[in-house]
Structure 1
Amino acid sequence: MPARRKAAAVVAVGLTPLALTALAAGPASAHGSMGDPVSRVSQCYAEGPESPKSDACRAAVAAGGTQALYDWNGIRIGDANGRHQERIPDGRLCSANNDEFKGLDLARADWPATSVSSGSYTFKYRVTAPHKGTFKVYLTKPGYDPAQPLGWDDLDLSNPVATATDPVASGGFYTFSGTLPERSGKQLLYAVWQRSDSPEAFYSCSDVTFGGDSGGTASSPTPAPSASAPSEEQIEDGTDKSTVEHDGHGDDDAGTSAEPVAEAASLPANDVQAAGTSQNLAETGGDSSTSYLAMGGAATLAAGAAILFGSVRRRAVNGGARQGR
């Protein structure tokens, strides 16, 4: 085999598995956090990462720094694949066992909380890159003490208060209904968003109070302030300080604004915009994450190598034919 033909064959064979691997891995581009009831990380971001107003958010920044708040929509495990209890130990639920967000795991009764009551409730999940998957929202059991570390046994895992599969994103939110049971005082809602097109999952803790009780305890009698979600202006203003990127394509440029193609095509124009350039998304370089750029690039390289191989082969055949004449 001529040297040029042999080299082209080697390149084609070598690059094709890379392209197939990239295509199989799939990008991590689903991101967000509970918007109503507002999550801890969203609340603290709304207060301002550099100078939070509440004692709890100031303590969270002291424990983990401000970057976690700018990365408010990136509390995730890239290869969770439904193994939430296996991957997240007790006491680390709100951070999803991610040290960047460890300040959110602080056990205290004065986390800002949303006032709720038993009965039907409309949940709103702030999404910054839509994807298919299932939401499950769990409520803490009666007797929950917010001044103690949150464990899996504190949640009523057998009776989620809301379950929604593939809700439609509108105006930057997934909206779905659930039912809150009878509770009193300070409680916590734990949301798990498990993607169906990837093993990636997202997590959030939302502090709530039932019946107007602010949730103070004997060990921490200070009433919890009311929670409030960040505005669109706040989200946009903090984008350039985030270490996660727009639309979650996994490259290293936090300014990327390309949409996740399949999802964007299925959304109305205003919803595509809401999931677009003004939001910060996925953790860059996440485990099990491959960017669309990488996939396309690998596929292009493989295709190019195949074309090169074919071209060299044709020249070799033609050259042989001419020599035969």
Structure 2
Amino acid sequence: MTSRRTAAAVTSTAVLALSWLAAGPAFAHGSMTDPVSRVAGCHAEGPEHPKSAACRAAVAAGGTQALYDWNGVNIANAAGRHREIIPDGELCSAGNEEFRGLDLARADWPATALKSGPRTFRYRGTAPHRGTFELYVTKDGYDPSKPLKWSDLEAEPFARVVDPGMANGDYVFTGTVPEKSGRHLIYSIWQRSDSPEAFYACSDVVFGKDTGGAAPAAPAPTSAPASTPSSAPAGTPGRAPAAGHAEHTGHPAAPASSAPAAPAAPAPQGAASGEELAETGGDAAVPYLVAGGAGVLAVGAAVLFVAGRRRHG
């Protein structure tokens, strides 16, 4: 009787584990990299010792983990309700306490020089999924020294694209930037179509010849940290991305570089032949999870077999 109960318990656990693995979320992560977002730029500067004053202030406010999780500024159940569920002053963090340092109102965030007119944009997709990208720019008179509010953004996105193609790990799409001058901010929303999950990013930009002393944009992140960092500010121990925040590319990450890679040719939008289109559902971790679940079931079956032999022996 004891053997049968043990076998039944193991089998039940195995079935539950495999069910969880099959139904578990496929994490889709990413952030704007051209123009570079605050979180991606600060990550590129180095989470433990960022170079710019704004990135150092962000770490002081929220810790280093936010920068290691640079591709995870998200809301799992957004379902297009962005303005309803993200409070004014918390747009850059998407209301996520971990990323509160990104909401700091200051005029010295590293910024990308930008011109009005047609432009190619790049959004690093570390776990590709279908969805819609929308880019908003701040209104004339935007004051970066004040907390960012929804009313600071233009009412309509200047760029909107559904299921853009990918090139070298980036979603690549085009948009026409409206006439602006001075320092502004581009707010990007990536709403998945295969899930209610959405991702958000704030990219600081400067229009015109006079960049106002803006620092050049940092190179886009290419991979997650390979190991746990050796030091971190007191009270915020640095570590590699937490579970669910690891980078999933589906292929080996490109080696890190101290300088931005040469821009790739813009990929055509839509599902043109030969392009690397964002995949729907799943990610690189799924085959390993399924294999692990199968292993658990195999162990359960073995226990049942042994228990049966003992009962009939």
Question: Normalized against structure 2, the TM-score is what?
Answer: 0.71
In the alignment, the residues of structure 1 paired with residue 309 and residue 148 of structure 2 have an alpha-carbon distance, to the nearest angstrom, of 67
**Structure 2 partner of 1:138:** 136
In the alignment, the residues of structure 1 paired with residue 52 and residue 297 of structure 2 have an alpha-carbon distance, to the nearest angstrom, of 54
Q: Which letter does structure 2 place at the counterpart of 1:273?
A: P
Contact 2:111 2:205 survives alignment (8 Å): yes
In the alignment, the residues of structure 1 paired with residue 81 and residue 308 of structure 2 have an alpha-carbon distance, to the nearest angstrom, of 50
In the alignment, the residues of structure 1 paired with residue 117 and residue 194 of structure 2 have an alpha-carbon distance, to the nearest angstrom, of 32
After TM superposition, list the pairs within 5 Å mapping 1:208-219 onto structure 2: 208-214=205-211
**Structure 1 partner of 2:157:** 160
In the alignment, the residues of structure 2 paired with residue 91 and residue 124 of structure 1 have an alpha-carbon distance, to the nearest angstrom, of 25
In the alignment, the residues of structure 1 paired with residue 225 and residue 292 of structure 2 have an alpha-carbon distance, to the nearest angstrom, of 31
Cα pair distance change 1:231/1:144, threshold 3 Å = closer
After TM superposition, list the pairs within 5 Å mapping 1:44-59 onto structure 2: 44-59=42-57
Structure 1 residue runs without a partner (length 5+) = 215-222, 265-271, 280-288, 320-325
- What percentage of residue pairs aligned between the two structures are identical? 51
**Structure 2 partner of 1:176:** 173
Count of residue pairs the alignment pairs up: 277
**Displacement of 1:174 after TM fit?**
1.4
**Structure 2 partner of 1:323:** none
**Structure 2 partner of 1:225:** 214
Cα pair distance change 1:15/1:231, threshold 3 Å = closer
Cα pair distance change 1:197/1:239, threshold 3 Å = farther
**Displacement of 1:204 after TM fit?**
1.0
Contact 1:186 1:213 survives alignment (8 Å): no
**Structure 2 partner of 1:123:** 121
- Which residue of 252, 264, 267 maps to 1:273? 252
**Structure 1 partner of 2:15:** 16
User: SS of the counterpart of 1:174?
Assistant: strand
**Displacement of 1:190 after TM fit?**
0.8
Contact 1:194 1:202 survives alignment (8 Å): yes
**Displacement of 1:91 after TM fit?**
0.8
**How big is each residue's C-alpha offset from its partner over 1:245-296, in whole Å with a ceiling of 9 and x where there is no partner?**
5xx9749xx7xx9x66xxx3xxxxxxx334x7869xxxxxxxxx9x635554
User: SS of the counterpart of 1:89?
Assistant: coil
Cα pair distance change 1:79/1:310, threshold 3 Å = farther
Q: Which letter does structure 2 place at the counterpart of 1:27?
A: A
**Displacement of 1:18 after TM fit?**
4.2
Q: Which letter does structure 1 place at the counterpart of 2:217?
A: S
**Displacement of 1:149 after TM fit?**
0.5
Cα pair distance change 1:52/1:298, threshold 3 Å = closer
User: SS of the counterpart of 1:164?
Assistant: strand
Question: Is 1:80 aligned to residue 78 of structure 2?
Answer: yes
In the alignment, the residues of structure 2 paired with residue 43 and residue 9 of structure 1 have an alpha-carbon distance, to the nearest angstrom, of 52
**How big is each residue's C-alpha offset from its partner over 1:289-321, in whole Å with a ceiling of 9 and x where there is no partner?**
9x63555434543466468668978999xx7xx
Structure 2 residue runs without a partner (length 5+) = 230-237, 258-282
**Displacement of 1:238 after TM fit?**
4.7
User: SS of the counterpart of 1:273?
Assistant: coil
Contact 1:43 1:227 survives alignment (8 Å): no
**Structure 2 partner of 1:26:** 25
**Displacement of 1:83 after TM fit?**
3.2
**Structure 1 partner of 2:296:** 301
Contact 1:78 1:200 survives alignment (8 Å): yes
RMSD: 3.6
**Structure 1 partner of 2:96:** 98
Contact 1:56 1:111 survives alignment (8 Å): yes
**How big is each residue's C-alpha offset from its partner over 1:40-86, in whole Å with a ceiling of 9 and x where there is no partner?**
12222333444444332232233223333333223223343333334
Contact 2:36 2:220 survives alignment (8 Å): no
**Displacement of 1:210 after TM fit?**
2.2
Q: Which letter does structure 2 place at the counterpart of 1:44?
A: C
Question: Normalized against structure 1, the TM-score is what?
Answer: 0.69
Contact 1:109 1:224 survives alignment (8 Å): no
- Which residue of 51, 57, 61 maps to 2:59? 61
Cα pair distance change 1:228/1:315, threshold 3 Å = same
Structure with the bigger percentage of helix? 1
Contact 2:106 2:144 survives alignment (8 Å): yes
In the alignment, the residues of structure 2 paired with residue 277 and residue 250 of structure 1 have an alpha-carbon distance, to the nearest angstrom, of 22
Contact 1:113 1:224 survives alignment (8 Å): no
In the alignment, the residues of structure 2 paired with residue 46 and residue 15 of structure 1 have an alpha-carbon distance, to the nearest angstrom, of 41
**How big is each residue's C-alpha offset from its partner over 1:132-181, in whole Å with a ceiling of 9 and x where there is no partner?**
33222111222322111111222224x21222222232223211111212
In the alignment, the residues of structure 1 paired with residue 185 and residue 13 of structure 2 have an alpha-carbon distance, to the nearest angstrom, of 52
Q: Which letter does structure 1 place at the counterpart of 2:56?
A: R
**Displacement of 1:121 after TM fit?**
1.4
